[in-house]
Every structure is written in structure tokens, then in C-alpha cells.
Amino acid sequence: MDYEAFFSGHLTRLRDEGRYRVFAELERIVGAFPRARLHSDGAAPRDVTVWCSNDYLAMGQHPVVIEAMTAAIGAQGSGAGGTRNISGTNTLHVALERELAALHGKQAALVFTSGYVANETTLQTLGAMLPGCEIYSDAFNHASMIAGIRHSGAVRRIFRHNDVAHLGELLAAADPARPKIVAFESVYSMDGDVSPIGEICDVAHRHGALAYLDEVHAVGMYGARGAGVAERDGVLGKVDIVQGTLAKAFGVVGGYIASSEATVDFVRSCGAGFIFSTSMPPAIAAAALASVRHVSAHPELRARQQERAATLKRRLAAAGLPVMSSATHIVPVSVGDAALCKQASDLLLDRHAIYVQPINYPTVPRGTERLRLTPTPLHSDDDMTRLVAALQDVWQTLDLGLRAAAEQGSLGRRVAAE
């Protein structure tokens, strides 16, 4: 087989479809977020405004986090020294896990190198080792959950997105004696919609299933202490296993699960993705610990971020731009074509120094391509004014069409209500 020709041909098809991903080389600037420096071959670096970061609360550059990381590097060095089982369990890992368990009201927590690894390892381990396990997965679940379920070898059943009735029908048809897991998310990151956590947990428990909730786009962002949508909705106690990330609202890197002591110890003892991975560096754990504590104690960060998101939705709608319905901090703007979505992203960067990555298939279904905006507490009104004007210019250049006045008013009222 001509391997090089195969690889090149596939890449050519991606380019022809407008789905080939080009990485922008950004240099983050401490104290200047959401500004960053864009580096391009053959050109001088230039400042851009970032509108698509998952550092939702700008904690990645917060002095509390930076100081904690710097102090830990000075005290303990860089690496962790090995896997957790051999030489890599650190006092800071233990402290971070205790903090995360307390945040979610669970007995124990376990830290992984990423949220992807946390999902894949936990679902794979549970699905493979629970005898005859069936896993019920929301149709819109993240790739990491899908990978874990597939690799587990467990029977997989897909229920329609956020459809509690359909989930109930599937569970009712199952053997009551078989172990079952219902896996779903709280905030779905591409549309910004929210699941009915309490109802899903109730249906799961009614049929003897564990409720496994991915809160990666919600931890830090919702609830009195930032424990996520389950805390906000008063249903933390109904969730059997919660999975979260340290890489988004907490601004660092890593993932985790929180659950009962036995569940966490089972995954710790049997999960290959945990056992055979070098552990998180102590400095990362220190930064994450400082961030979790700070975010939990400062609800005003969440309030400011929600205000920024609501304001941006209203301004986009008022400008006739096709902002998609979203009940969360995520603000998607519909394009509906992969090539045009890439062109819109390129024009925003080249003409207006605004960085927003295109969201194309397979991240979203074909025909639903969009720009995904994530306002933070540090995006100003002036930043929004420039963004809206830039989007209008790009929409006109690409002949994407702006909404009519009557449609604008209707959309604006709906977005404001959300």
C-alpha cells in the first residue's frame, strides 16, 4: 500500500470540504487576556482578541493560580516522578482530590491527566468489569465518553438527546438484573443546551442504573460554589459519578471523577488509563487546587460571566446575526457550511484581528457548522462592539445574509428570555 498517497489523499479531501484544520500559533500574555499575540510565518507578531477560549473565567492567568504554580515549581521541581502507583503520588494530588470531593459533595475523587482520559478510563473500566453491563449514552455525548463506552465492550444503547421518555423506554426493555450505566452531560458544549439532570437520574435509578454525569463545561460556572449544574439544580445527591475538568473554568489542565469511596477506589485500582499514566506534575496540581478554591469562594466571577454571555447574545441578535438558542455561557453563531465557516473565521482574523475557530464536522453534524463564541468576565463592552461590527462585515462579504428586522426582534426577545 502507498501509505503516503493514502494520507495525502485524505488530507486533500479535508481541504476540498473546507474541514482541514489550521492551528493558529498564539502567545498568551499575562495580564492582557483576552488579548494574545498571533505568530505567523514570515510576518511580525500581532495582537488579536480571543473569542473562543475555554478558559471561561480567565483563571489561567489569575495571580492566585500563577503564584501557586510558581511556588510549587520552586519547592518540588517540574515532573511528578512516575505513575501514581510507583512514585508519582504527591501531597498536592491528595489535597486536590479532597477539595474536588468536597466540591461535589462526594466521598472521594480521583485526578487524571485530562478530562478525556478521565471519561475514557472510567467508562471503559466500569463497562468492562461490571458483568453483562449495558451503557445508555446520550446521542450528543462527547467523543471521550463514546471512546470509553466502545472500548469497554459493554452493550451500548443510544437515547435521543435529552429525551427522558426515550431513555425510560430503553431501560424498561432491559433485563432488570443486568448492571446498567446512564452516561450524559450537563452542558453540551456545541449548542449550549442543558440536560434535565434530576429527571435522568430518577429514571436511571428507577431501573437500577448508575447515573454518570459529565460536567466539564459546567464546573466552576454554575452553582453557589461552582460545582456545576447539578449543584445549581439541587440534584448533586442524585448523581452517582460526576466527571469534571480542571482545564476550562479552572484554567489549568487535567480531569477527575468524584463518587463514593468504593467507586473511586475501584477505578483507581483497575483503570488502565490511570494506572499506566505518569501523574500530573505537582505544580499543575497546586495551580488547580488554588483555582478550585478561589472560584468556589467567588460567585461574582460566575455572575459576571453570565452577564457577559447574556449581553453578547442580545447584541448579536439586535445586529441581525444568527445567534443560536443557548441557555448557557456558550454563544454559537450559525453558518451552516464548512467552507464558509472557515472563510468567516479567516476573515475575522485577517481583517479584524479577532480569533474565533470554525466548528465543523465531525465536531458538529454537517450543515450545522458554526462559530462558537465564549465571552469571559474580561471581555469588555468595547470588545463586543468590535466583534459585532466585524461579524456584520464578514456576513456581508460572504453574502451570508442578516436577519430581517421583525425576525431580529423575535430572536432578541427569545435570547433575552434565556
Nearest to 171 by CA among 138, 206, 195: 206
Q: Do 281 and 70 contact (CB within 8 A), yes or no?
A: no
Rounded Cα–Cα distance for residues 138 and 312 (Å):
29
- Cell 479584524 belongs to 352
Strands (E), 12-132: 25-28, 35-40, 43-50, 108-112
Phi, psi of 206 (to 5 degrees): -60, -30
Which amino acid does the sequence have at 199?
E
Residue from 180, 248, 313, 342 carrying the catalytic annotation: 248
342 annotated active-site: no
Rounded Cα–Cα distance for residues 53 and 251 (Å):
10
Report the catalytic residues. 248
